[in-house]
Amino acid sequence: MRANPFISPLDDLIVGFDKALRVVGGVAAASRANPAAHAVDCELDEREQRHSAGLMRVNHVGEVCAQALYDSQARHAQSAGMRAQFEQAGREEEDHLAWTAQRLAELGSQPSVLNPLWYAGAYAMGTVAAKLGDARSLGFVVETERQVEAHLNSHLEQLPAGDAKSRAIVEQMRLDEVAHGDAAQALGAAEMPVPVKLIMRAMSKVMTTTAYYL
């Protein structure tokens, strides 16, 4: 995000650090209405509530990572157009961050205690992807969104039938992730090598399994 030549590298670093603190600290504001606002809430038993909270914590971690990825990719994008694309996607993903945090609170739970670690790891991955060029960076987005979509589809199957609020949030997230992936593909994303896809899936598996509990 160095489109403004009057912002010094130090100022840029401070802005980035502030953003990271806000993300891992759970400070996020949605620009769109929460899709769960009009969903009919229901009484979940203890097991169902715990399971919904675990899944929503995983989704919240995914959004923490999305903020890190899009921020790092925007900062290291090779063109102003790509920078704007990543920044816009990041703003939309911030809605997800706020929605999932709100739902976790409603379920009597909290975000992952490992959020600083997830953020740092995702930021590093986004930086590496961006350094490989815009086409590879976009390809990374496409593959990431495909994997996220698959996770969200599985969560829609796993969430308790009566948890309409969580379902409404996850469904809107799924639609947004598909749109982000399609947009990146249309901008000229390069296909990611199979070994890279496998590594991404393995890392995602570790994250989702851990975040469900922590």
Annotated binding-site residues for Fe cation read 63, 93, 96, 145, 177, 180
Using CA atoms in the order 151, 152, 158, 159, what is the torsion angle rounded to 10 degrees? 150
Please name the residues in contact with 180: beta carbons below 8 A apart, sequence gap of 6 or more. Answer: 89, 92, 93, 141, 145
Please name the residues in contact with 15: beta carbons below 8 A apart, sequence gap of 6 or more. Answer: 1, 7
CA–CA dist 206, 110 (Å, integer):
19
Q: Determine the Cα angle at 213 with ends 209 and 214, to 5°.
A: 100
Q: Give me 113's structure tokens.
A: 């205690």
202 burial type by CB count under 10 A (0-12 exposed, 13-18 middle, 19+ buried): exposed
Helix, strand, or coil here: 55? helix
Q: Which residues make up each annotated binding site?
A: 63, 93, 96, 145, 177, 180
